[in-house]
Each structure stands twice: as C-alpha cells, then as structure tokens.
Structure 1
C-alpha cells in the first residue's frame, strides 16, 4: 500500500542545506516536526542507511516517509549508464519504503546556477537530450514500481514554462506525471495555477511554496542561485508571499491522492522551528478539510 495520501508533509531542506545531511541534523529536524505536528517527511535516506532502518528511525518520531526526489542535471554532462543505475537503486529504495511515486528534477546546471530563473544559456540540443535522458530514467523508475512526476526547479534544464511543457508534452502521461513546485515555477516566471490546471490529470504530488515579490520578475543581473535563494527575501512561509495557494489547492483534481508537502528552502524568519510552525499552522487552516493526518 502506498504511503501517499493527502498528508501534510515537511521537507527538512533548510536544516541540511548548510549543515549537511548528517544524522544529527536530521534528528533535530524530526524532533521539531514531531513537536509541531507533522506526520510525514520527504523520504531522504542518508548514505549508509537502509530503507527499513530509515523507516524505523522516522517512526520513532511519529513520522512516515513522503514522496522523495530523484535529481540529476540530465544534460550532456551525465554518464547515462551511471544515471540509470542510480535511478534503479533509488526507485527500489523508494518502493521498499512503501512509496509508489517520486519527483524527478533537473538541477545544478552551472550556467543556470549563475543566472537563475531566466532560461540562461538555452540550447535546443541540450533540451532534447535532457528530455531523452529523462524518458530513460522514467522507464527505469516505472520498472521499479515508482511513478515519476516532473518537479520544476530553477537551475536545471527544465526551468522555464516552455521547457517544462516541452518535457511533459514530449514524454506524455504514460511515462511521466506532474509534481509542481509552486515557488520554483513562479520564480521562473510561470503561472503555477495555469500549469496545474493544464496538467491536473497528471498531478501526483505538490510542493506548496510561497515567494516574496522582491526578486520578481527574475533578471539576468539579479544574483546567482544561492545568493537569491538564501537572501531571506525569496522564499516565504505559505500565506505570507504573493502566491494564491488557496487557489492552487482548489485547482487540484477532486481525486488527488498525493501529499501536500510544505517547503521553505530558506526561512524568512530567524528560526527553523518557527518557520515550520508558521507553515504548519497555515497548512492545518488551509488544508484542514482536504488533508488527512
């Protein structure tokens, strides 16, 4: 049975983004999430830990695994054989955790990390190659029993709306679904609500992320990815930014059966705990009738 199912989940990314993915860092995040009230967390098994041990570890904090993420540049820099083996191992691990879907994202393309959210250094050949590579990864994940969902992310090959739609339309619904990140889409100039409505029948997961207007619209001289993302004035706790997340939730299909993952990559308040408390408070108010514990 899938452990997906309209829960309010958390992503501990701000805990490990600077401090690293150590056991101590994750334990602090899990203690905070347990105290705040979250019951699910993004599946991110530390190196050297098996899926069963990870699930028991989470359970000790009253948490269970939620939809994870397989990421790669997916461009000409990757060794395709190694990429597919990584995808196979990842898919098997996620399936062992009881998950039947995963996010799939392109990340960390150097030109786009330097100049984020504007489609820098576009190359049609690179895009075509990345779509082909993504399709092969999807085939591997599906063979492991895990449905891939494209997860939009600034800094990758599929950054702009045109690139996202080229991927989704090019591979088709039998190969890839949609797992939008509202904040990354908006930072890159797309309207998350329009894309969610367009691909509603393919949505299996969502990252509900808000953004402040300070870095919108993105410009070529607006700073690199890490400086903008870490400024405290890009990512907003949900309900504090410019996105109409209530409309986003309402646009999800009636039979949506994925989790609602709340994500603030870099908190805009001084405390990681407080950022997640604010986020959970918003989520319980906004999602109370559609989410399950």
Structure 2
C-alpha cells in the first residue's frame, strides 16, 4: 500500500480570510512544506495559474502538485454546462500538465463557507429530488473532466449543499462512477457524521483524502444559529492530525482496509499566529505518517534528510 503525503497552503494563507497569513509568501509555504517532510502540495490563491510558471516553482522545492480546490457551480448551472466547462478549462489544463491526482471539486453555488455573517445553520439544504438532478448533472461534468485527463474528486464541505453524511450518501447514490469522492475527515466530523462509517460505505469511490483534524470542544461550543463557518475557523475548530480529536490510526486502518492508495493531504485552516504553520506542518506530518505506517502503508517521496528537527 502506497501513501503520498501532501499539505494544503491554507495553513499559511487563507484565501477566505486574508487577515490569516495574507502577507506570507508562496516561497515560504513551499519551503516549509518540504522541510516538514511533505512531497506534494495543493494549490491556493497565490499559486501561478500555468504549468510554465508553477512547474519550476514546485520543482525548486522538490514538490509535486497533488490537487487543488475548484469552486464549482454545477448545482445552479444550465444543463448544457457550457459556462462551467469554460471556467474549468484552464485549471484542468494546469492539473493535467503537472500530473495532479484530481480536481478538488467544491460546490459553491449558494455556499456560506466564505460569509462571516451567515450562521452555520443557514446553509443551503437540498431535498433528494434536487440532489438527484444535481447528481446527474455533476456526473456529466465529471465525465468532461475525465476526458480532459483529470478525475473529479467531490469535496463534501461545511456550509454547502452537500455537508452531512446523509447529503453525501444521497449524492453518491445519484452520481455515476466518474464522480470520485474527496474524503475529508474534519468536515465530516464537524457536520456530525461518522467519518469511519463513510469510509465503509463509500471507500471504493474515494480518490483523494484530506486529513483534517478537529477540536471537538470548539465545535461543541459553537452557536450554530449565530456563528458562521469562518467564526469556527477563527475559534480553532480545525487543526492538524495529532493535535485534535480524531483517531487517525483508525482512519488509516479503515482506508487501508478498503484499498485506498494515493495522496493524503494535511489541511488545517488556523490562525498562523496561534498555530505557526511550520511547526504544525511537522506535527501533522509525524502523526499522519506514523498512523499510515502502522496501517501498513509505505510512504512515497519521504523527505527525512531535510525535515525540520524537533
């Protein structure tokens, strides 16, 4: 079983909350990601948008492009999907040319994830017939992405129309095989779902993993009729593996049991002043790599000689 470890740049610079790391350079993010041991990264707002620009930057730090967020609006798109395909074309080209594992598709039609004034319980809710229609349309978009050489990994996410375990179950039921699953431990735990049961039910659809930890005490203290998703981030709802409430030994073993191989991305949006990204990257790498090795994974591209000592 092969595992590749990557990290998301959101710990260094949060695109939805520019006050969190807005001044941090891309070079700092890449250098500290590699020094912590990671062999890949996902994209963020500061990343160049063409392979000619981004490829050399990644290569300079010995990093690969694992994936990256795509703000999809298929939920409200016309059935012909023409505008959505046009919007995605350049990102698909970048990802194909740099060998990314998938497009991390987040449904942003009607999302409240980036709205500080929108309470958590005001997120868009979809009935099964709406998810069925959406699923058929999303399948066609995923087939288009596959034709362009990049699989689609659907990212269930707090504040969106597909947030809960029940939402995800319905989406998996009403989508075709072209729609892969980007499984995110932290978002499922935050949404009140059973993150281990999700692996059991949908493991064969998982094509990418976000290893996000949570602080249960922070989540349980939120007033969902008042506090927004961004309020939760600022309060410290998320952290890296090894610093929160999720047992990643159990997660790694379940993923091994269903035969998942590929990228495991540490992702934790936090205040970089309270949680220095370089330090927390090391914590996340050590905890996740230990859990994966215990579950029988061999870590590909490990960078032990450059890793930060501690």
Question: Do the aligned partners of 2:238 and 2:269 also contact (CA within 8 Å) in 1?
Answer: yes
CA distance in 2, matches of 1:185, 1:245: 14
> Secondary structure at 1:179's aligned position in 2?
strand
Question: TM-score of the superposition, structure 1-length normalised?
Answer: 0.86
Stretches of structure 1 lacking an aligned partner (at least 5 in a row): none
Matching of residue 215 in structure 1 with residue 219 in structure 2: yes
* Residues 119 and 186 of structure 1: CA distance in aligned 2, closer, same or farther (over 3 Å): farther
Partner of residue 74, structure 1: 74
Matching of residue 147 in structure 1 with residue 151 in structure 2: yes
Q: Which has the higher contact order (CA 8 A, sep 6+)?
A: 2
CA distance in 1, matches of 2:175, 2:198: 16
CA distance in 2, matches of 1:244, 1:274: 20
* Residues 66 and 97 of structure 1: CA distance in aligned 2, closer, same or farther (over 3 Å): same
Partner of residue 307, structure 2: none
Aligned length: 286
Question: TM-score of the superposition, structure 2-length normalised?
Answer: 0.81
Equivalent residue in structure 2 for 1:159, among 141, 160, 163: 163
Query: How large is the Cα RMSD of the aligned pairs?
Result: 2.8
Partner of residue 237, structure 1: 240
Superposition deviation, residue 22 in structure 1: 8.2
CA distance in 2, matches of 1:121, 1:203: 24
Partner of residue 33, structure 2: 33
Partner of residue 279, structure 1: 284
Superposition deviation, residue 68 in structure 1: 2.2
Q: Deviations over 1:157-206 (max 9, x none)?
A: 1111121111111013x221211110001111111110111111121110
Q: Deviations over 1:189-233 (max 9, x none)?
A: 11111011111112111001111112138653250111111212x
CA distance in 2, matches of 1:286, 1:221: 36
Superposition deviation, residue 86 in structure 1: 1.8
Q: Which moved more, 1:12-21 or 1:200-209?
A: 12-21
Q: Which moved more, 1:197-206 or 1:281-290?
A: 281-290
Equivalent residue in structure 1 for 2:249, among 246, 249, 265: 246
Question: Do the aligned partners of 1:107 and 1:153 also contact (CA within 8 Å) in 2?
Answer: no
Larger relative strand fraction: 2
Stretches of structure 2 lacking an aligned partner (at least 5 in a row): 302-310
Superposition deviation, residue 136 in structure 1: 2.9
Partner of residue 86, structure 1: 87
Question: Do the aligned partners of 1:200 and 1:253 also contact (CA within 8 Å) in 2?
Answer: no
